[in-house]
């Protein structure tokens, strides 16, 4: 959040030492901070991470169909996953934000964290080469990629619950945040998922509202007997 963040510490966290630290500084600069910001780097980084993850999936899931590969890639490069990586680097502490975004808590906003991660990827590419950048992306995603299997190509719990209810002409679920615990950079969200027409309510927790809602939806599917316990 500082205008002069400790770039040495951040570079140790991401595992890359910039030849030109100003590239990293630019990658941390949100558009609310000024005209010189990370939007162009984000565009570049988005393309790179999609390419690197697509190549990995193509090589490691030889029997997967195109649709399955696309869904696996979407799961890996979606905003919530990138934001989780940003939180692991404690990226919110290094972002350069305008006063409005600072006041509204932009340093912990999922979309801003995800964009910054992509911007850093773009900055690493410009500072080095594609091979080095590819290594960093795979390193950051390593554990998530190892945990992938073709079962992950199914739709997410919120979508499955919505489609189940709509197919039976029931009202859509209602999600509410009950409480938020922890410090700004390490919060836990507690959410409920209410199904008024079925007189049911489930709960979920997670490090973002979206993750907590997905867990609550998954629990609702289990209670309805749609999915196994």
Whole-number Å distance between alpha carbons of 216 and 154: 17
- Most confident of the following: 144-158, 167-181, 184-198: 167-181
Any idea which fold 7-149 has? Ribonuclease iii, N-terminal Endonuclease Domain; Chain A (1.10.1520)
Q: Is 42 annotated as a binding residue?
A: yes
Res. 102 pLDDT band, cuts 50 70 90: confident
Backbone angles phi, psi at 96, to 5 degrees: -105, 110
Partner residues linked to 176 by β-bridges: 192
CATH 3.30.160.20 fits 157-223, yes or no: yes
Structure tokens at 109: 């906003």
What proportion of the chain, given as a percentage, has pLDDT over 90? 61
Catalytic site includes residue 118: yes
Q: Which of 8, 66, 90, 118 is catalytic?
A: 118
Q: How far apart are CA 174 and CA 19, in angstroms?
A: 50
- State pLDDT tens for residues 179-228: 998 876 678 999 999 998 888 899 999 888 888 999 999 999 999 887 76
CB contact set of 93 (below 8 Å; sequence gap of 6+)? 1, 2, 5, 107, 185
Domain locations along the chain: 7-149, 157-223
3-state secondary structure of 89: coil
Reported pTM: 0.68
Active-site annotation holds for 46: yes
How far is the C-alpha of 229 from the C-alpha of 214, rounded, in Å? 15
């Amino acid at each position: 959040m500082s205008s002069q963040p400790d770039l040495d510490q951040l570079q140790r966290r991401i595992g890359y030492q910039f030849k030109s630290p100003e590239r990293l500084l630019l990658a941390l600069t949100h558009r609310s901070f000024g005209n010189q910001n990370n939007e162009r780097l984000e565009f570049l980084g988005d393309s790179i991470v999609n390419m690197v993850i697509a190549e990995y999936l193509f090589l490691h899931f030889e029997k997967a169909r195109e649709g399955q590969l696309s869904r696996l890639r979407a799961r890996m490069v979606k905003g919530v996953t990138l934001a989780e990586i940003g939180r692991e680097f404690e990226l919110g502490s290094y972002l350069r934000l305008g006063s409005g975004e600072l006041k509204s808590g932009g340093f912990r906003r999922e979309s801003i964290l995800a964009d910054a991660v992509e911007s850093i990827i773009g900055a690493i590419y410009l500072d080095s080469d594609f091979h080095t950048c590819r290594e960093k992306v795979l390193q950051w995603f390593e554990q998530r990629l190892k945990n992938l299997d073709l079962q992950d190509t199914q739709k997410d719990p919120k979508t499955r619950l919505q489609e189940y209810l709509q197919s039976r002409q029931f009202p859509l679920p209602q999600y509410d945040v009950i409480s938020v615990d922890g410090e700004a950079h390490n919060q836990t969200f507690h959410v409920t998922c209410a199904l008024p027409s079925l007189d049911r309510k489930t709960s979920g927790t997670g490090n973002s509202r979206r993750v907590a809602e997905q867990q609550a939806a998954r629990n609702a599917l289990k209670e309805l007997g749609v999915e196994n316990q």
